[in-house]
Structure 1
């Protein structure tokens, strides 16, 4: 076979491959366009889901109207908590709308959450050495609750431990529950409507707060609407990896 023949064969082969290359490039462009469209649709759906979740988490209009005067005061709010056992993992909001941070003002779990709703119980203290106290002070008007209210004084004057071993002691103590001056404190308490609660929530490296809240509504889907006010913000607690105060005193 002559060089001329070989060259002609090579040219013919290259020309015959051109439609295949063009077709592959067309398919690649189509795939890129399809992926771009899919990404845009997903983003649009995500925004729609977020908007619908906001509706799901919103308090009833009648509650907003009923407590408008109270909500006009500083450091107050009204929220809906969803039952974790029903919604966790089903919403784009981490925690399924069952958690809330009174500092970050978000239901998103992991941003210093101060309260949760699960199995018809309120809870506090969710990760690491974080801990908290809950107390039900009864059918007391939220407006009248202060740091000097009976049952609240202990929480208002409690000194947050800095050493991790001491923080773990408080975790165990609040988990089991204890009594002080005739009042019961625990990290989990059952939900009752028309009852006022107070929570001291310690999130190391984030916040340490005292909040009073009242259950104003419990709906048939298990969600609750909570009216709240900030009683006190303490200095941001920092956890130190050091021996406990008791151990240091004994050494």
Structure 2
């Protein structure tokens, strides 16, 4: 029985051995199979690496925005995203090579593992270096979050999945979830809406009265000062180093891999929201070849205003600073006459600072090219008034005239119509504007006393720069948001007005 048993096992063992050898031979990779496997591995590496690098680029853009934003929730969000992203990057690096630090710090590139090509090694080590740099931001973000607690409410966050909030009345406690996509609640920064406190003309009631003390809307009211937030130099250095390392990785990818730049996208969206389209300048290139002409986008007045009871970083450039009004002539020192045109409701209106004022009229469908310095295409009463109006030379009378144009009251121009500082917006209509702009000295604007040691420079301190121009503009396009693209032209420059009683 013993020999029979062994003889029975031998054929089975032989058969199993032959089967195993056949299987090994059938699984032995041919050169073609090895090439396909290698290509599949390379593609998998580039795909995973490209996703992680894109996430790094997006995270860097969000961190840069959070560093200058007073909202505490922005910083809390990117702080958590930093931890999550770095852990995902660490997992990818370990799957490719167990010790990234040793591999990337080796001075001998030839000692790199065989599974890495030169491009892959560059990408791998650039990703490792950028992740090491970004990890340094963790304490910087923590410090920034503690400072944001001075501006907005930073409360304990519930779990991501939500937590039951105890309620003494409701039998079923509501579930509270973190909402970092919403702005944090600011502390007491109540701001009064001063529009229309003492005047039916709410759009112009806040104009200051220069030269004398005026009544304030609310006694002893001082609006809150907005914070000035500058990003830490340490954070800027870290982000610059990380972006430089990632840029080294981007050029090592195959040409069919594309990456989006969040900063470029944000800048494009900002231009789309507030600026002209690129083709508009080409469309009207023939008109723009004329002297002292231009094209710009007229926005609603709300685009230039900060909403009440919100916290803003006053160091960040505003819309008017990013997209300034077009200059009407060369600057005279700090005096820059401009076409400060806005939409207030459905009406075009110039922005008036200090004692600036203007008046305008709708001429109808008259081409801009037909307007000459003598305004021959304009009806006689209107033409004579726009050409012959003389601004007062006394500061108080100047402000009286300004109020007449702003309100339409007490006008004695011997006209059969009221001349206002605004006009209803109509597409393909031409508007004529007489714009008077002044740069008053600081001692007059703020009622400052001149020290005895500076009285020898009194004439220079009281110097006034001014301009008086006839301008025509024509809206040629209206967007869905209500803004207009307008063509403008300086028709005539009149003698600069003077103020003699400063």
Deviation at 1:160, TM superposition (A): 2.3
> What's the TM-score once normalised by structure 2's chain length?
0.36
Say whether the 8 Å CA contact 1:152–1:198 is kept in structure 2: no
Which residue is 1:220 aligned to?
480
Partner residue of 1:196?
430
Distance 1:105-1:59 versus aligned 2 partners, 3 A rule: farther
Cα displacement (A) at 1:120: 2.3
2:196 aligns with none
Question: Which stretches of structure 1, 4 residues or longer, exceed 6 Å deviation after superposition?
Answer: 47-51, 96-99
Equivalent residue for 1:154, pick from 385, 389, 393: 385
Q: Equivalent residue for 2:406?
A: 175
SS for the counterpart of 2:232 is: helix
Point out the more displaced range, 176-185 or 221-230.
176-185
Q: Which residue of 2 aligns with 1:36?
A: 233
CA contact (8 A) 1:80 1:224 kept: yes
The CA deviation string for residues 40-78 of structure 1, in whole angstroms up to 9 with x for no partner, is 669xxxx97777644544323443233221111111111
Secondary structure at 1:123's aligned position in 2?
strand
TM-score normalised by length of structure 1: 0.67
1:100 to 322, 325, 344: 325
Distance 1:240 1:54 in 2: 43
Q: Secondary structure at the residue paired with 1:220? A: coil
In the other structure, the counterpart of 1:84 is 301
The alignment's C-alpha RMSD in Å is 3.6
Aligned counterpart, 1:13: none
2:256 maps to 1:59: no
Q: 2:501 aligns with which of 226, 238, 241?
A: 241
Following TM superposition, by how much is the alpha carbon of 1:200 offset from its aligned partner in structure 2, in angstroms?
0.8
Q: Provide the residue aligned with 2:63 in structure 1.
A: none
Cα-to-partner distance string for 1:214-247 (whole Å, 9 max, x where unaligned): 01111011211110110112233333336xxxxx
Q: How many residues align?
A: 206
Higher helix share: 2
Q: Unmatched 5+ residue regions in structure 2?
A: 1-138, 141-230, 241-262, 308-315, 439-464
- Asked which structure has the greater RCO (Cα within 8 Å, sep 6+), the reply is 1
The C-alpha deviation readout for 1:107-166, integer Å capped at 9, x for no partner, is xxx954442222222113512221111111111111112232323442122222221122
Structure-1 residue corresponding to 2:466: 206
Cα offset, 1:96, TM superposition: 7.7
Q: Is the 8 A contact 2:274 2:323 kept in 1?
A: no
Q: Structure 1: which 5+ residue stretches go unaligned?
A: 1-29, 243-251
